[in-house]
Each structure stands twice: as structure tokens, then as C-alpha cells.
A and B are shown apart, each in its own frame.
Chain A
Amino acid sequence: MSTVKSVLFKDPASTESARSILRVLILLTIAAAAVASRLFSVIRFESIIHEFDPWFNFRASKYLVKHGFFDFWNWFDDRTWYPLGRVTGGTLYPGLMVTSGAIWHALRMISLPVDIRNICVLLAPGFSGLTAFATYLFTKEMKDSGAGLLAAAFMGIAPGYISRSVAGSYDNEAIAIFLLMFTFYLWIKAAKLGSAMWGGLCALFYFYMVSAWGGYVFITNLIPLHVFVLILMGRYSGRIYVAYSSWYALGTLASMQVPFVGFLPVKTSEHMAALGIFGLIQLVAFVDYLRGQVPSKQFNTLLRALVILITVVGFTGLVTLTVTGVIAPWSGRFYSLWDTGYAKIHIPIIASVSEHQPTAWPSFFFDLNMLIWLFPAGVYLSFRQLRDEHVFIIVYSVMASYFAGVMVRLMLTLTPIVCVAAAITVSSIFDTYLEIDSPEEQEEDSESKKSKKEKAKEAGGFLSSKAPFVGIYSITSKVAVVGAFSVYLVLFVLHCTWVTSNAYSSPSVVLASRMPDGSQHIIDDFREAYYWLRKNTPYDAKVMSWWDYGYQIGGMADRTTLVDNNTWNNTHIATVGKAMASREEVSYDILRKHEVDYVLVIFGGLLGYSGDDINKFLWMVRIAEGVWPQEVQERKFFTSRGEYKVDHEATDTMKNSLMYKMSYYKFPSLFPPGQAQDRVRGARLPSEGPVLHTLDEAFTSENWIVRIYKVKDLDQFGRDHFAVSAFEGGKKKKGKKGGMAGRAAGKRGRRVVRI
């Protein structure tokens, strides 16, 4: 046995260089695997920007590359939110665009002119390799490089992270997760070493993170929480003080340089914890200094009492300041983190976003697979050692688990810690079961055991951390456990690959379906319609659509939009909702006032595309109702039995709404009489389709997914459009305006007095 060992594993010290080469190779392989698995979308479809937000980021990147940094900084975008415009330079997180812009310039500098689109498409996969590396560093600080490599591998392919970082998913999260992990690594390093340099580096990457993603608030709260827990555990030390103070002071000042953040770090509740801990740690440091001067056994108790008192006083002060309005109250998105029902009642615009919904439990298994059950074990193992950095893992796990349960998109912040914890577990299992020697032969083991015990004692940890070391004696159990885990790991890789290729690689701009013979059929209605807009409408045409499509219209069609995914102005969105939900007479005035030329709706009834505007319609109604409760009422869109219907049972309000009319205009003519079928809602439509008076159908895409209508101009002769259609339809003018059909105004003439 020992000969085998001596052949296979030489003295660790002598193989160190070989090991480090191996580690580099493994990390490079992991990075390559991480990048490669994200390229499914490019291979399946093409090099294209995905979904919604990335289109804005892409557009902003193009602007940055074309006009330079300062113009980008002061960018006033007059092609969105017409006519309000958007101070885009001051209301975005520029980190992502600046990163790709810098890469673009760097590549040009070395004579590699690459199209900005390709940089944008491949930025997320590229950064996923770096994320794997950051995770390696982070985990290495927690356990050892073996666990680090496992964590890097997990992070590289975990679907929870891939979902936001496939090629083409050019969103803030693409670089933010790397920055998150790297900032945490630097923080752990700073806290371990008590080094102002590492703290400063941590602040630097914190600044990068702030400039890249609104999720920076997670770091802003997690690091103070870590420090706070350490202080409560009585683990305050000079190292913590130096690390935290240097990070907070530099990081906060740096973060305030981002225009979108500005004075938020000293004004809003989300940032108050960090400020409070900064104040607290100064007091603690002072008290600690006093203790150094006056040693006393009661001092510890006094210190704890003081800490708790100050916390209570600080918290009360915070509440008072918030109530009196000095500190801005928590934003709606944060309320919805505590109360999942809050947004639904108060801020429909937040609730209407699918990624703000609470997570369904299967998605934990879908996104993390076996990691999710290894995760608690990893947290448990952290408890056993419980050094300062392990407290961080525990705090992070608790917070991230909660938030991931509340909001689907925050699964993203949970994924790294799950990978780290799972890697610690698997690595511990392998450490235990891959030991070729049996424990009794080993003298070192008992020693190491002892030392561990002592360490744990020194740390003043929990009972669990004093558990005796138990070795594995039988080869069978070793093989069985290691074999089982190897199978699990293979299955995990298979699962990740399958999920990535099937669930997360669709650009959603292009839809794919299977033909009966199994071949892939591409449904390209969105681009068809956007390209039609681009080629057939004047450059300054204004296109109204629901806000979901604002970024895509801006990015692909390059036309002015009224509202987009930025959703900064609820009233403007409600105006669009009102226009969609009202009768034509009401809508037409809104359209004229906003100088709308084209109206775009998404209709899935022909193809069975369920994400269409009729299914989103109730959100438009709700948002409009929030602003005009008298004019738009959600109740009126439901039948008397409370059902949302589009067939002949639909209410009059529903049938007369602009959205309904635009969606089903001429739709029944596709079918034999009486056979019109809406495949999304499974409803049979009335054979008489809706009639449009104030809009003309301008374009309908191949599968009817996108329908574009042109807003009619005012009538040349001052008639309203209903009269025009009546006249052109051959019907004579009747009623109050007419009199004897077409002949005259009757014997008594017009009784309206003209002044």
C-alpha cells in the first residue's frame, strides 16, 4: 500500500510545481468548458443579442463606441420615452458597456477589429470563465485548492448561472456575478489578513460592481452583516477593523461617483446598515482600545451590552429619520423582498415582471440539481470549522436562500454560494474517502486531528467542531462512496448540459419549434416585423407598444418608442395601458397627443405563443387603473362570472378595447366561418371580427405574432373616423347629424347655433 502511495503520490512538497501546473491546466479547462457550454445559443441559432434588456445594453454599447465616453456619460436619449426622453447616461449602470467598449478598443489597438456585436454576444461566456476562477479563489480561502477547483467547475456549468450568461445574454449580470465573487474573495482576503491594501482592492472591485449592477446592494449589506455577526460573536479584531474601514470609506466614496447611484449611499435605507456598522466598528475599536488600557474580566460583558445598546439606539434613530423623511424610505422593489404580496397590491408594474415572481420549488432542482442537497452539508461543514470566513459563508447562505425564495431572478445570487458549499462538501467527502491509507497506519492523522481540535478550541467554536475524527477503514466503502459520487458528478454534468441546451439557449427573439420530421423550424416573426419597421417607416416615426418591447424596437427597428423596459415613469406606462384598454375614441386622442405613428401588438393566437399581449393585457389594465381609476376598471374586463374571456362571452369593454381589436382584427377571416380558434386561450371567436376605425393595418408578420397598425391622420374634411368609415362603407349618414338621408338636414335645418 505504502509503495503504491509512494509511487503515485510523492512528497507533497516535491510535487508542488507539478500540482500548480495541473491546477492551472484544470482551471483553464474549466474556463473552456464554461465558455463552451454557453455557446449552444450561437450554434443553435446565431450570434444574436437575446431577450429584452440586452438589446438596450447593446444599443448603449454601440452609442458608447460611436460617440466616446463623455458623450455616453451625458447621453440624453430622445428616442425613448417620447416625448419625455431619458437621461440615459445618468440612469444606467455603465459598467457593462464600458467593459465591452474597453475590450473593443483594446482589440483594435492590437489590430483586431471585432464587431461590437460579437463582443457583446460573447462577453457573458468570457466572464463566466473569470467567475469560475474567482470562485476557485474564494473557495480556496475557505478550504483548500481541491475544493476550489470543484467549486470552479460547479460554477462554470451550474444552470442557475448559465441562465443569465449564455452567449448573447448581454445583461448586467453577465459581468456582475464575476465581480460579486471577486469582491467577496477580496473581502475574505482583507478580513483574514487585516490588510488595508486588500480592503482597498475590495473597494475597487466593489466600485466596479456598483457601476455594473443594481445588485451591488447585496454586497453593501452582506459585508456589514458579516462584520456585525463577528462582533456579536465576540470576534472583533484589528484585522476586521482595518478591512472594513478601508473597504467602506473607499468603496462608498467610489460608488458615489456613478451618476445613477449619486447620494444614495448616504440617503437611502438600503445603505444604512453599512453606514451604521461603520459607526459601530469605530465605537467597538475605541472600546477595545480602552480594554487594552484597562484590562478587566467584566469588560467583555460590558462591551457586548454596549454593542447591543448602540445597535438599538442606531436602529431607532434610523427608523425615526426614515419616518420623518430625512432618509428615503425603502423602494418598492425592496418592500416586495419582504412581502411577496406587496407588489401585487401596490406596484403592479413590478409585479408584472415575471422574474420578480416568487420562485417555484422545482426550479431549485432545475437550476442547481444535486448541489442543492449538498449545499446544507457544506454550510454544516462551515459550522464545524467556523473561522471568520466560514461565518461569511453561513451569513451569505442564509440571506441568499431567503432572497432566492422570494424572487426568481435572485436565484442568481444564491448559485455561487451553493457551488462553494457543495464543493466544500464533495471535497471533504473525497478527502475522507480517497485516502488510500487506512487511518490506523497513520500517525500524522491523529496529530492533525489533535491540532484541529486545538484550533477549534482556540476559535471557541461549537460542539460540532470538536467531534472526533473518524477514518474510513474498508476499501469497499471507499469505492462505493467515491464511485457513487463520481456517478453523481457525471449526472450533474449531463443535467447541466441538457438544461443549458434545452432551456436557456433560446434567444427569445427567435423562436424554435420542431417539425414533424424532427428538424428545427425557426419562427422569426419578431425580427421580420422590426425589420419592416426599420425599412418602411420614417426615421422619426413613433411606435407605441407595451413596454416589454420598447428595448427591442429601439435596438432592432431603431424607431422612437413611448415606453420601454426601463419603466422609470409609471404614468407614461399607464398612459399606454390606458390607450390599449380604452375605446377607440379615447385611445385616438391619446395617440394623437403623443404623436404616435404606429402601434405594435404581439398576438400569439394563431401559433399558440402564450407570451402575447392579450395575456399581458390585465397588467396594462391594472397599471392604467392605478392612475385613472375612474376611466379604466379591471372589473369590466371580466365576465359576470369573473372569467377573463376573449370569445363571444367577452364583455363589451373587452371587445371595444383597442388591444382586443388590434389583436383579433381580421383574424376570423383566416378560418372558415365560425371556426376561428385562438390557440393560446383555446377560445372560439365570434365569426364577425372587430372593426377598426382610427387605425389601418400596416403589417402582420408571417405567423401573426407581431401586428403593426398605422394611426390614421385626421380626416381632411373634419369628420370623425366613425363617420368616414360609415360613409365609405356606403351607409348614409344618419342620426343627429344627418336628417333626410344624404338629401338635406330636414325641414327645420340645423338647430345648433353657430356663432
Chain B
Amino acid sequence: MGLTLRSVLTALVSLVSLSQGISLTGPRTLLVLEDDVKAQFQTLISDLEARGFTTTTHTPKSTTLTLFQHEERVYDNIIIFPTKLKGLGPNLPSSSFLKHATAGGNILILLPSSQDDNVPTAIAELATQVDIYLPPKGFAVVNHFDPADAIEPEHNTLLVDLPSFPSDTKNYFNTGEDKDAKLLYRGAGFAVGSSPLVQPILKAPRFAYSYDTKEASSFADDENVFSAGKQLALVAGVQTRNNARITFVAGGDLLADKSFTKVAKTNKMSGNRAFAKDVTAWTFKETGVLRVDGIEHWGEEFGKEVVNGDVYRIKHNVTFSIALSEYSYDHFKPFVAPADDAVQLEFIMLDPYYRIPLPASSSPLTQHKNSTTYSATFKTPDQHGVFTFAVNYKRPFLSNIHEKRAVTVRHFAHNEWTRSWGISGSWPWIAGIWVVVVGWIGFVGLWLWSKPVVAEGKGKKKQ
């Protein structure tokens, strides 16, 4: 008895400790790097471990490395560090990364900063699959107008502002203390396609461009420029439909120890270390993860006793509410939509009949801890059918909310119409009916009880 109790307790405790894990995906992190590279990223790795990640290190060519065991993910997160190799090992083909992400795992990919280093084929293939296009070997980003180090002739190290986004997008990448800190960047950049799943996190400054250093050592003509300005992305995040995240950092030095220094120009600490934390936190799902805590819908006809019923009636008021919370490192907190953005509800049968904003409700039906309840009331359309309440909230850097609840909107039953006497226009007709009924009965009565006056006349008629 005591033994079982203890084992249950142990299980509970281990569960609790698991749930305190910082990443929503899980703490098991695979570091793919060669030994000499590890030294360059000591701070990044120790910062991760300090946040609760458990790391396992493998070299790219490792033969014992396997991402799946019994068709289950072995690791929750993978970091591919820059490597000089042309290809990763046989256990890391591009398809294994896709499989890992399909199974819900996250991947952070650091591309080499030096233009002389290779991008492994598997990584380039993976990038192409998610609509990210890497330049060939030998490309580098330069910014002649604002070099980090004026003495460096190539102007290859850039000073980049921390990311900023329009006001309808939440910014998870500028959470450090110094909002105006500059990032030190060195790398080749890449181009991003038009897929809605890819979002550039860090873009190159307006005057920066990526060019082929082998063709032109210090300048570039149009032929040798890969991309430029805001179209040139330095860091980009991909969020798959099942909310796995893949982040490409075009220039691993951005997160390397050597960038966590003072910037000579401003004489302040660079923002790289804080940015590294933000990027890894987003990629490994410590930030920007939304959770639906509850969906409730009810109609006026049944009141709040029947919640989440299957059937509604046409032309009746329906209230829909959804409770959303957001994960932030180690806890869920109420999700507050950005000021210029709104959570929307669609009421769909083939096409949306309604698309209405869901304002935050002050008095929700069920109080959820640590979540905001968004709610709206509307009248069902005069059309029966199978309708779907759909909340399709897909925003950059937030995990996808695509909740659908199909309900039947039925027609009026035979006894739910207004009765005939309830319609004033019908009164003349009803009166007409009763006049006929009463008149007929009266006539029959008269006919039956009035004695024929002349009996002879009747007899004549018979003949």
C-alpha cells in the first residue's frame, strides 16, 4: 500500500517537474556541432541549459544519431550549428528534419557567417521546402553606409537595429533591457518567398545587400547581387501548420560568444545576447504560444443551461465565447490581442455568413484562470444548414488558432410558428371561417326545425 502510494507520489512529482519544463514542446535538445564549434557558442548553450533545456551533443556525421525511435521523436528541439562540412551525416537528411517538424519538434538552424564556409545540402533543401532561398557559397551582406567597424575594409560586419513590427503584430524579439541596442551581424542573408508560414524576424538595413564576394571583392554590380534592403532577410521563422517552429539564422555569429560584446561605435553592449534568448525562446516555444482554454456557445432559446449544444434555430441569438491564454516562459497568462488587431469569429456554411470581431468579455460564463475570454452575440441567419463557428486566428509569430465547431441550424418546427390568431392580418379570414361555420349550423338548424308550410307543393316537386 505504502509502496503504491509512494510510487504514485513519485509519478506526480515527476509529472509536476515535467510540466515545469520551460519549453512547451519539451526540454530535450539536440546540438549538432563539431567539437571546435562548441567553444564559440558557450554562452548560448549555457543560457539554454540555465533555462532548463537538457542538451545532447552529436557531430553532424555521427552514426549513432537518430531523430526517431519507434516512430517517436527522440528530441524536442534541434540546433544545427554552423559547420564547414558540405553535407550532414547519413542520419540527417533533409527529410528527417521535415519529419521531425511534422511530429511537432522545433529546429533552430545557424548558417555559417563566413562566406568561405559551406551550407550543408540537407539544410539548403530544407530551406527550399519551406520557401526560404539561400544564396550560393561565397555571398556576404555588406552595408557601406553604416559598417560596424569602419576599419574593416569589407564592411561585412553590420550594425542592425533590433526587430520592430507594425502595431498589429506582437514583438517577441525585442524584450531585452536596452530596446535601442544594436545587433552585430555577419553572414550571407537569404531571400524569403511568399509563403504565409515564413516570417522574416530580422531584415537587413535598407542599404545593405548580399553580393558574390568571389566575383567582386569590394563592390557589386547588378549581376552579383543576391538581394538587398528589406527583401534580404537575416533571421526568419517558419511556423508549420501544426505549430512546429523552424528558425533560420543566416549568420551564426549573431548568436556566438564573440558578438556578445560592446559595440565599438556606440560603446554599449550589443543586443545579441538578449536577441539570442528571444530567438531561441520563440523557436523552442517559450513565447508566442496560444492556448484555447475553453469554447462556449449557447443560444437564447435554451439559455445558459444548454452550453455547446448541437442544434440552433434560425433567426435566434447565439453567443459564442473563446478563452485564450498565452505562454510566457514558464506560465500561461491572459492573451491580449494587439490594439490594432482583433480575434474574429466566422459563422460559416461554405462561405462566412458572419465575420465579426470578438471583443474581450468582462463577464464570461465560465471564469478561466489566466486567460482572456473573447465573446460576441449575434443572430443566426435565416438559412438552415450545418454551420461552423470558426476562430481562425493566424498571426505572425503566434501559434495558429483554428478552432471549428460545427452546429446545426435548423428550421422552425411545425409548432414554433406564430399561431394564426397571433397575426393581425389573418383576423378577417378567421372571422370569415367562423361566420361560415356559425351560418351553416344556423342554416341546418333552421332547415331541420322549420316545418314545411305547404305539404302539397312538396308532393308536386317529387313528381
Chain A residues packing against B (C-beta within 8 Å):
70, 73-74, 76, 78, 82-85, 87, 90, 259, 540, 593-594, 714-719, 723, 727-728, 732-733, 737-740, 742-750, 752-754
Contact = CB atoms under 8 A, between A and B. Distances in A.
Contact of B128 (A70, A82, A738, A749): A738
B53 interface: no
Given A74-B413, A74-B414, A78-B408, A743 B121 contact: yes
B195 interface: yes
A744 B193 CA distance: 13
B242 A747 contact: no
A255 B350 CA distance: 36
B27 to A, nearest CB: 23
Interface in B210-231: 210, 212, 223-227, 231
Contact of B197 (A718, A737, A739, A748): A718
23 contacts: A73-B413, A76-B410, A83-B349, A83-B406, A540-B406, A717-B130, A718-B198, A723-B129, A727-B129, A739-B133, A743-B121, A743-B124, A744-B124, A744-B133, A744-B134, A745-B133, A747-B212, A747-B224, A749-B133, A749-B226, A749-B227, A749-B231, A750-B191
B226 A83 contact: no
Contacts of B133: 739, 744-745, 749-750
Interface string B409-449: 01101100000000000000000000000000000000000
Contacts of A745: 128, 133-135, 191, 226
Interface of B: 94-95, 98, 101-102, 119, 121, 124-125, 128-131, 133-136, 190-198, 200, 210, 212, 223-227, 231-232, 238, 240-242, 244, 311, 349-350, 384-388, 406, 408, 410-411, 413-414
B386 A742 contact: no
Contact of A82 (B129, B227, B386): B386
A275 B387 CA distance: 42
B272 to A, nearest CB: 25
Contacts of B408: 76, 78, 85
A752 B133 CA distance: 12
Nearest to B122: A742
B194 A752 contact: yes
B192 A750 contact: yes
Contacts of A752: 193-194
A746 B128 CA distance: 12
A714 B413 CA distance: 39
A717 B226 contact: no
Contacts of A732: 125
Contacts, number: 132
Given A717-B129, A747-B226, A85 B386 contact: yes
A383 B406 CA distance: 65
Contacts of A723: 129
Could you say which of A70, A73, A752, A753 has the most chain B C-beta atoms within 10 Å of its C-beta? A752
Given A74-B414, A743-B124, A716 B191 contact: no
A594 B194 contact: no
Contact of A716 (B210, B241, B385, B406): B241
Contact of A740 (B136, B191, B193): B136
A739 B194 CA distance: 16
9 tightest A-B CB contacts, nearest first: A745-B133, A74-B413, A76-B410, A749-B227, A750-B191, A83-B386, A749-B191, A718-B197, A78-B408
Nearest to A73: B414
A754 B193 contact: yes
B385 A85 contact: yes
A87 B95 CA distance: 49
A31 B240 CA distance: 69
A77 to B, nearest CB: 9
A749 to B, nearest CB: 4
Given A740-B136, A748-B225, 7 more contacts: A718-B197, A742-B94, A744-B134, A745-B128, A749-B190, A749-B227, A752-B194
A110 to B, nearest CB: 31
A742 B122 CA distance: 8
Contacts of B94: 742
A744 B195 CA distance: 17
A82 B102 CA distance: 30
Could you say which of B124, B232, B349, B386 has the most chain A C-beta atoms within 10 Å of its C-beta? B386
Could you say which of A84, A717, A728 has the most chain B C-beta atoms within 10 Å of its C-beta? A717
A378 to B, nearest CB: 41
Nearest to B225: A748
Contacts of A714: 241
Nearest to A752: B194
A744 B130 contact: no
B135 A749 contact: yes
Nearest to A746: B136
B101 A743 contact: no
Contact of A747 (B135, B192, B231, B413): B135
A85 B350 CA distance: 12
A338 B101 CA distance: 64
